[in-house]
Chain A
Amino acid sequence: MRALIAAAIGLAAALAVVLTVTAIGAPPGETSPKPLRTTVPEHP
């Protein structure tokens, strides 16, 4: 019984970590102020 409880705690913790990380996700950032290029750049 105690082993089952320990396994359930482990499973719940894994679910909590993954769900939290995916819910937070990555920030979208901002649109670059740089224009669409109409000249050939010297370097990348």
Chain B
Amino acid sequence: MRRRASLVLLAFAVFFAALSPLIRWYAFPRLAKVPPSQYQTMVLEAKDATLLDYTTLKPRKVPKVSIVQTLKGNVEEAKKVKERTGRDVVVWDTLSHVADARGELVSSIPERYIFDAHSQEPVNVPGEHVDGDKVRRTGIEYKWPFLTEKRDYEYYDFQTRTSAPIHYKGTRTVKGLKTYYFEQTIPWTKVKVPKKLPLGVTPRTVEQFGLERWYSTKRMFWVEPTTGAPVDGQELHKEQMRWRDKPEKKPLTAFSGHVKMRPDFQDDAVDLVTSQRRLILLFTSYLPWGSLGLGTLLLALSLTLEWRSRVAPPGARGPALLRLRGPRSAAGDRPGPAGPDGPVSVTDRHR
């Protein structure tokens, strides 16, 4: 009976011990993925910013500029890409809509970003675009991979349509969460004019004025490393309209401001990241370590039972001990009466 119990315990010990690495190294990389149906809005604000007034072609100070970023997972497109490539992908249709303090349009840039749901690496397939222009992304955008490392990453800049390193600059705490701080500086670069501008201004109109758009930014992200999700983001963003072939003419400031996450949206992001973090830790830490501990405990129990069943011969513990003691009886350690084969123990007499 004891031996059977130790075998059952051994089976459970192996089950839990094997579960530990299987969860961490097999299940986690396959189960941890960005859901393809995610819908998320983020609002960023730049207070006391400078904007170009397209009616007078003069920069003006405004109390606030809001940037509304929407990420919408396109499940149908993700399925089509999966059929074509065999990869688990997420297709995000995004819109970066910029509005002034009165809610009037400043610019609006749509994107389609297609990436691997597990690794967050871009997947280059037809349909990928920025403001309607076909692009081929390299590097991450919006989100870092799960279990973000303390190293530089390539980050895609949708204004320049190129990737550049975003540098790891250390660990910071944001609203009680440990984060990795990343920084990227994009030097002044000539970029495309957005197709949607106020007063019906188009890239062609801007070109006819003899202007071209230049942009520079310092991008900062505080990324929660377990989920790879930013819990804070800021930009020192500058845009200029420069006179084509007239370097002596003063450029017009099209936008200048310190863009920050709106506090209520940041709190919402922190809440979301905190809950998702627990889920990831369940697969990377709680379950693997818990099952390994349980497996070790069950193995110890199984070995103890096995050892005890080997030390004691079959039957109850009492008689066995008595038999080992040989000629001495249980009562008062006195020798029992002699039988035909020598002294008889108390146990033998009970048979």
Binding site for B on A (CB under 8 A): 2-3, 6-7, 9-11, 13-15, 17-18, 21-22, 25-26, 28-32, 34, 36-41, 43-44
Q: Which residue of A lies closest to B90 (CB)?
A: A28
What residues of chain A lie closer than 8 Å to B41, measured between beta carbons? Answer: 37, 41, 44
| Contacts of B67-114 to chain A: CB distance below 8 A | 68, 70, 72-76, 78-79, 93-95, 97, 99, 103, 105, 108, 110
Beyond A15-B18, A29-B36, is A36–B30 a contact (Cβ under 8 Å)?
no
Q: Chain B's nearest CB lies how many Å from the CB of A26? A: 7
For residue B57, CB closer than 8 A to chain A, the reply is no
Tally of chain B residues near chain A (CB < 8 A): 48
List 13 interface pairs A-B (beta carbons < 8 Å), by A numbering: A13-B15, A14-B14, A28-B79, A31-B72, A31-B74, A32-B37, A32-B39, A36-B95, A36-B97, A37-B97, A38-B68, A38-B97, A41-B43
A-facing mask of B106-143, CB < 8 A → 1, else 0?
00101000000000000000000000000000000000
Beyond A3-B10, A29-B35, is A17–B95 a contact (Cβ under 8 Å)?
no
Chain B interface SS verdict (over half): helix
Q: Chain B's nearest CB lies how many Å from the CB of A2? A: 6
A-facing mask of B187-231, CB < 8 A → 1, else 0?
000000000000000000000000000000000000000000000
What residues of chain A lie closer than 8 Å to B341, measured between beta carbons? Answer: none
Beyond A10-B18, A26-B31, A30-B37, is A2–B68 a contact (Cβ under 8 Å)?
no
What residues of chain A lie closer than 8 Å to B35, measured between beta carbons? Answer: 26, 28-29
CA distance A25 to B70 in the complex (A): 27
Q: Chain A's nearest CB lies how many Å from the CB of B176? A: 19
B73 contacts A25, C-beta separation under 8 Å: no
| Contacts of B19-59 to chain A: CB distance below 8 A | 19, 22-23, 26-27, 30-31, 33, 35-37, 39, 41, 43
Beyond A26-B31, A36-B72, is A14–B37 a contact (Cβ under 8 Å)?
no
Residue of A26, A30, A40 ringed by the most chain B CB atoms within 10 A: A40
Beyond A10-B18, A14-B15, is A38–B43 a contact (Cβ under 8 Å)?
no
B12, B22, B110, B265: the one contacting A36 at CB < 8 Å is B110
B78 contacts A36, C-beta separation under 8 Å: no
A43 contacts B95, C-beta separation under 8 Å: no
